Amino acid sequence: MLAKRIIPCLDVTDGRVVKGVNFIDLIDAGDPVEIAKKYNDQGADELTFLDITASSDNRGLIIDIIERVAEQVFIPLTVGGGVREINDIRTLLNAGADKVSINTAAIHNPSLVSQASQKFGSQCIVVAIDAKKMNNHWEVFTHGGRNPTGINAVSWAKEMVNRGAGELLITSMDRDGTKSGFDNDLNSLISSEVDVPIIASGGVGNLDDLVNGILKGKADAVLAASIFHFGEFTIEEAKKHMRENFIEVR
């Protein structure tokens, strides 16, 4: 049976892994290559790197990191953050990324997703959706949850899949960094509306949150950062806990 995946996320800026609360107050969490190796050894199913570098000067650093990780870590690598055009995707894939995650650029230019999936194949195009709950629906936000777009998150998810997204990374802006669990209502709604796998993100505080992300949120994969970075839990512990809850894991 296909296993549910656990994906540690590494937020990278200026060549270091960092962790913040709601995208601010960043704390240094270590060297990306060392952390990637550690998670791989612990049995991570994939790794996601999110480049949150603000200045364009240091953008090249992520390329160097991906190249170095890809020489040593033989599991799928996804890279996102600051991807604006076809050439950015090509550069990241050539550096060793297996999938590239597109967020804000998809909103400014939805045809980028169509072009990218045509050119490189749907299997390597992930669309990241940052959503916030508004009364009775969810709205897509950009820039780390600061800018509302007026777009309904569920219809946006469907459009992105129609344009060729091979996977969706759904982050709840209400939950991110709060350790209060995924927004399982949002995730299960999107998961039931699209055929492609979805990754739940934002809000993991304990191992039950991962279990609920799968069982209640109907996610195909769960992504978390801080519970792994600061050594609260290892990937092995997370998998053991999921197994105890009858979830198929590797």
In the set 5, 19, 132, 175, which binds other proteins (CB under 8 A)? 5
CA neighbor of 79 nearest in space, from 94, 60, 62: 62
Q: 208-221: string of b/e by CB count within 10 Å (b at 16+)?
A: ebbbbbbbebbbbb
Residue 184, interface with other proteins (CB under 8 A)? Answer: no
The set of residues, in sequence order, having a beta carbon less than 8 Å from that of 155 and lying 6+ positions away, is none
Neighbours of 162 (CB within 10 A): 12
The whole-angstrom separation of Cα 109 and Cα 205 is 34
In the set 9, 11, 220, 229, which binds other proteins (CB under 8 A)? 220
CB of 146 to other proteins, least distance (A): 31
Question: Which residue among 45, 51, 88, 130 is the active-site one?
Answer: 130
Residue 195, interface with other proteins (CB under 8 A)? Answer: yes
Residue 212, interface with other proteins (CB under 8 A)? Answer: no
The whole-angstrom separation of Cα 102 and Cα 84 is 8
CB of 151 to other proteins, least distance (A): 22
Is residue 11 flagged as an active site residue? yes
Q: Which stretch binds other proteins (CB under 8 A): 3-11, 56-64, 103-111, 226-234?
A: 3-11
Neighbours of 54 (CB within 10 A): 10
Question: Which residues here bind other proteins, judged by CB under 8 A?
Answer: 1-5, 40, 45, 70-72, 74-76, 93-98, 120-124, 166-167, 191-192, 194-197, 218, 220-221, 250
